Structure 1
Amino acid sequence: MRLAAHEAHRVARALEKTLTDPVGLWLLQPHEGAQSEAGFTTLQRTSRADRSFLAGDAVGSSGNSTLWIVDFKTTEQGARSDEQFRAQELDKYRPQLESYAAQLRLDARTPAQIRLALYYPLSSTLVEWRYDIAGDTTSSPA
């Protein structure tokens, strides 16, 4: 029961921080084509991204030129520096998000521009990068 109470407190804190963070609000606001926990299937696998939507190419922008694929993570930074935290989390989750992008790239309706992001509501941290058509990536943590 203690674990459940602790986790309920963490969830409430994460929600509160998200709803007071401009980036968190932008991620959750209505966007064209927005989906949460929507599955997508290709011949090879079924995947489920936490959130995807169309917006502009920059964080906080409007529009529909870029597909954003975002996973929410509750990992806390702990004693790691900002740089260590971002680098380690990117190493851990980049393959997962890039596999989502590769799958969605097969759909002709997917825009040419795809941005991938990890959002950490407990620290109001967004780590995002561009996934390009050739599968090359450019990291641009925010």
Structure 2
Amino acid sequence: MTPDQIRLVQESFRGVVPIREAAAALFYEKLFAIDGSLRALFRETDIKKQGAKLMAALGFVVHGLSRAETILPTVQDLARRHVGYGVEEQHYATVGQALIETLDTGLGEAFTPPVREAWTAAYGLLAGVMIAAAREVQLAA
């Protein structure tokens, strides 16, 4: 990611914070619309609490993008835990699509093409790290 992309992600996330509860609900609505089978991963989950966790994790990652080396171990641990929840590699693309659609809806006109590109790059970085960590767990099993 370029410094400008990091700045765009961080600045645009400030627009998400005030609507974080609605954004989280919208995210899961979009996620389940894209792939209804993912609902099964959340059958024992309070989706509102899960949404708060999602927004906290996003905030952690967004704020740490300018020093990625400090957040990567936490992101890798998160991915390893997600393997145990039943998350599979192909789910990362679905989550990315739901995230981008949520940001598009939530930010409206502020979700410009450069902001979309920056978020796509950020998610690509995050997903790549998480997928690699998940593969390590699967290979060790």
- Under a length normalisation based on structure 2, what TM-score does the superposition of the two structures give? 0.36
Higher RCO (C-alpha under 8 Å, 6+ residues apart): 2
Structure that is richer in helix per residue: 2
Larger radius of gyration: 1
